[in-house]
Structure 1
Amino acid sequence: MARWEPGARERLVVAAVDLFIEQGYDQTTVAQIAERAGVTKSTFFRHFPDKRELLVAGQETLSRLLSEGIAEAPEGATPLEAVAAGLRRASSEMTEFNRQLGPRLKAAVAASAELQERDALKSVGLGVAMAEALVARGVPDPTALVAAELGMLAFKRGYALWSESDRDDGTDLATYTSRVLDELRAASAQLG
């Protein structure tokens, strides 16, 4: 087995997602994931504390990027304009790896109650990060919470559309998240 090959973290995520789809989350062991990824179990544990954490790989980075984008939005930006800046910042870091993983990850999550729970917690964490960044800009709590939820919905829906779209169309994730955020803004205006 390779010990120090680059890309071990990404290979572990792909191996785990594929095994979760093939044989189920509960039946998949850390040893199987490590073997499929071509690394040792100790390499697995250098990257992840357990197999549950594979689903939230990158959450801290994503939260940081969303928060930084919101913080760096121009002064005077509305809460949703600041959220849009956060979405652009986070989207700019998504690669073809993230795009290709999307449909497989969706299938793995759909097949496991435990992974659905982890995915929901990830969404909550990302929403909290955006709301805190908005509050730090002086946005009142209720407004920050609503804007953050719309941002989270826009990111999740935009990511799903991007990862399932024609790869040759050249449209980046930021374009998808921006479109979805605009649709949600229009929909929320109709709530009355």
Structure 2
Amino acid sequence: MSQPVPDPEPTSAGLPPATDGPSGDAAPTSVATAGPEPRRPRSVAKIVVAAFGLAALVGLTFVAGFGTGFAVGRPAESSYEIRVFLERDATEAQKAAVRTALERLDLTGEVRFKTREEAAADAQEKFKDYPDVLDSMTADNLPETFEATITTREPSCAGISPIAGLGGVDEMFVVRPATDDRPGVRLGC
């Protein structure tokens, strides 16, 4: 007669030991320990997609913030007009020196020179609604002028101010022209 087979003792993991076939003999096994399951490797594709998504988000934030200049407390770029009025008796050498000094600046466009006649024609157009002013806007009363434009976030008078001291210069000023959303400003260069 056969004897009943006793139930195997559970292992430390709470599972019966593995058997080696139909006879029920226990096979040598290692004892499993309770604990977290091992981590599965993540898909490389998911990691790459997440990295690109994060990079795109950071890039958009950078462009939106720094592109306007206001996200970091910096003003947006503005254009400034430099106007140099010459003395009536300025020589050609003095005019050339003023032009050269202006061209050394980081200008947006080219240096423009206006004769007295061009200045009078511009004034006649600009002040056409003020007939009492037009009488004084003639080529005899207006100076020859150099004009140039710079575009910058933070204007500096360092390179501009010395131009006012050149021979043949009567007056010079730098202005940020008025726009629809802000008034014009004259800098003290």
Structure with larger Rg: 2
Q: When the two structures are superposed, what TM-score results if normalisation uses the length of structure 1?
A: 0.23
Q: When the two structures are superposed, what TM-score results if normalisation uses the length of structure 2?
A: 0.24
Greater fraction of residues in helix:
1
Greater fraction of residues in strand:
2
